[in-house]
Amino acid sequence: MKKDDKRIIQIEHLKKYFKDVKAVDDISFEVREGELFAFLGLNGAGKSTTINIICDVLSKDSGKVIIGGHSIDENVDSIKPMIGVVFQQSVLDNKLSVLDNLKYRADMYDLTKEEFYQNLKFLTEKLELSDILKKTLNKLSGGQKRRIDIARALIHKPKILILDEPTTGLDPKTRLLVWDLINDLRKKENLTVLLTTHYMEEASEADYIVIIDNGKIVASDTPINLKEKFANDFIRIYKYKQNLLENIKNSGFLYKISSKNIEIEVDNMKKIKDFIVKNADLIEDFEVIKGKMDNVFFKCNWQTTEGVLI
């Protein structure tokens, strides 16, 4: 995103403590309009606490939360209609039908009957809900309920969609449906998406990523820049002559050997190229594995002491 793009979420020096637990410990970040923003961290890192503060489910101890130019301290009623949320745990009523769940949600935002059915038609087509609209929630599968959670969050056409691990446990088809819808809304409606996920392939598609650990931000940048900084590439050698093993051991490279291959971590591409050329007669088959967001995620989850990474 360009630096002059409109900021739709601004978090400044946010803190939330639970006795001795610093759940959110002086974090600052911003999300730009239309952005897919990934907010990553291990369970208990502070992601859900931050989201609950943004949604006014939880009060903050200090700091600023500004949504669409409105401070959550001064004008929370103007902020709530701007946000749709898919929480980790479903908030649907299992005793109601799918249609009644969505109607109840729409009523909270004073949607007209025409607006509701227009939005419902769009979401029904995109999320394939037509066969289950009249069914009660307790008769649906977990994947079907998740689609309803997402429809519920979008029924009032919010400007910001917050997804707290929305695709955990979903089958590949349902995940594809969900992401097709989200990408369509980002393209056509300039929808802003704040995502938490443990699927690093989803995070890799983000415009910007913030990684939090023990309540503190430990890394933030675009996926490309984070991978360049934290994720080394690998050379994976599948077929080789035994003489190669001694040369690898003497090379100074970090490596591991399995029954299927040898994997060498690359922190200097020129050095590994020279090694491959020098040992070409000992190597029959190999490939280069580019660094992934998984590597970034694991390397960034360091402990923090008084704000210093250790």
Average pLDDT over residues 44-56: 94
The strand pairing partners of 9, in sequence order, are: 31, 67
CA distance readout (Å), 80 to 29, 60, 67, 97, 282: 20, 16, 9, 25, 64
CB-based contact 176:126 (threshold 8 Å):
no
Residue 300 scores a pLDDT above 80: no
Residue 41 scores a pLDDT above 70: yes
Instruction: With cut-offs at 50, 70 and 90, classify the pLDDT of residue 301.
Output: low
Helix axis angle for 98-107 and 113-127, nearest 10°, is 130
Instruction: With cut-offs at 50, 70 and 90, classify the pLDDT of residue 308.
Output: very low
Residue 1 scores a pLDDT above 60: no
Quote the pLDDT of residue 5.
62
Check for a shared fold between 7-222 and 232-290.
no
Quote the pLDDT of residue 105.
94
**In a 3-state reduction of DSSP, which class is residue 90?**
coil
Express each pLDDT in 161-209 by its tens digit. 999 988 877 888 888 999 999 999 999 999 999 999 888 889 999 999 9
Domain coordinates of the chain in residue numbers? 7-222, 232-290
Strand 262-266 versus strand 255-257 pairing type = antiparallel
Average pLDDT over residues 79-91: 92
Average pLDDT over residues 288-293: 82
- CATH architecture of the domain 232-290 equals 2-Layer Sandwich (3.30)
Quote the pLDDT of residue 237.
94
Q: How far apart are CA 112 and CA 159, in angstroms?
A: 18
Q: Where are the beta strands (DSSP E) in the chain?
A: 7-18, 21-32, 36-40, 62-67, 70-71, 83-86, 160-164, 192-196, 208-213, 216-221, 233-240, 255-257, 262-266, 283-289, 304-305, 308-309
CB-based contact 6:213 (threshold 8 Å):
no
Fold category of 7-222 in CATH: Rossmann fold (3.40.50)
Instruction: With cut-offs at 50, 70 and 90, classify the pLDDT of residue 305.
Output: very low
Considering the entire predicted model, what is its pTM?
A: 0.82
Residue 309 scores a pLDDT above 50: no
